[in-house]
Amino acid sequence: STHLGLSSLTSSSSNSIITNDISTSDVITNDTSNSDIITNDTSTSDIITNDTSNSDIITNDTSTSDIITNDTSNSDIITNDTSTSDIITNDTSNSDIITNDTSTSDIITNDTSTNDISTSDIITSDIITNDTSTNDISTNDISTSDISTSDIISDESH
């Protein structure tokens, strides 16, 4: 559902494992996530607010200037995310699996999708608003400069 890069970090979380973090100027508020595993995070200037996600596994995150607000997603698995300048607001998606995401400058608002599986996405300058899609499966998606507003999608496969 989202290309959220860094979804949780420290701050009242439990059982977090953080390795080789050289991120700069992160602002994290009210993070109550549990059992996060974060590896090789070199993100910069992330702002994360009210993150209550659980059991996130994040690997090789080099995202920059992400702004994430009210993320309550659970059990996300994110691998090799190199997204830049993402703005994500009110993400309540669950059980996302995101692999090899190299998206750039995404703006995502009010995403409440559930059980998304995204593989090998190469996405540039997407603007997504009020997405309430469910059970999306995206494989090898190479889209450019998409603008989507008020999508209501169920069982989308592409």
Per-residue b or e along 115-142, where b marks 16 or more CB atoms closer than 10 Å to that residue's CB: ebbbeebebeebebeebebbebebeeee
Q: Can you give the pTM of this predicted structure? A: 0.67
Give the integer Cα–Cα distance in Å for 145 and 59. 26
Dist CA 114 CA 73 (whole Å) = 9
Task: Give me the tens of pLDDT residue by residue for the chain, a chain 158 residues long.
Answer: 444 444 444 445 567 787 888 777 788 888 887 888 888 888 888 888 888 888 888 888 888 888 888 888 888 888 888 878 888 888 888 888 888 877 777 778 887 877 777 776 666 666 677 767 776 666 655 555 555 555 554 454 44
Give the single-character DSSP code of 154.
B
